[in-house]
Structure 1
């Protein structure tokens, strides 16, 4: 079994935004030389996450608006006593830090409209680190 690991760095410009990283993941798969296995995408932050969905502007706004409505930033959160971003931590907890995709015949397997996106929940930030690990034969 072979393993290939690549780290990418993403800069974000807004407090909440979805950044398509699918091309970075596909490039890592190509560089790995691995044909069959799995691909893990993992963000190394507590206020960012990885989501899989259609990269359509209206849908991305809907997702952000839903999070903002569901987790009111002005609500009284205990974590805000030390840091004013409890809503971002809570949102990240719902989505989780990683996703796994199958790799078959050198191709990342995903649905027609599925794109891999970094979901920034507490930006803007410089250098959000995303680890891409390809495991297989």
Structure 2
């Protein structure tokens, strides 16, 4: 009887894992395709999709070791003492479920969550994307 319960539990766990959506890894070259003049683009096709995007953090909370919201940008130092990247090269990330991420300017990260094509006003200007962040981890090639 215990063996049958174990087998059923393992089968249910496997089917639950199989039903979990797998994020699509998106590069900045795809996000660059967003243009306000075009109605369709590879970037617009990502609206409301679960994605993972590598990049660098620009925290939006001052003097914090851990943050709940930040801009994700394609290169380290973006927005700091230089003109910010164009709107289609910035993603506003708001972490979900009371999560916090360790603040880092120079270390690359991978952010996973649902991407939205939506203009967001930030201290660094307009941003073309927002993300409901589910996970932030160090970037590994």
Fold conserved between structures, TM > 0.5 = no
Higher relative contact order at CA 8 Å, sep ≥6: structure 1 or structure 2?
1
TM range (shorter): under 0.3
By percentage of residues, which structure has more helix?
1
The two structures have a TM-score, normalised by structure 2, of: 0.20
Scaled by the length of structure 1, the TM-score of the pair is 0.21
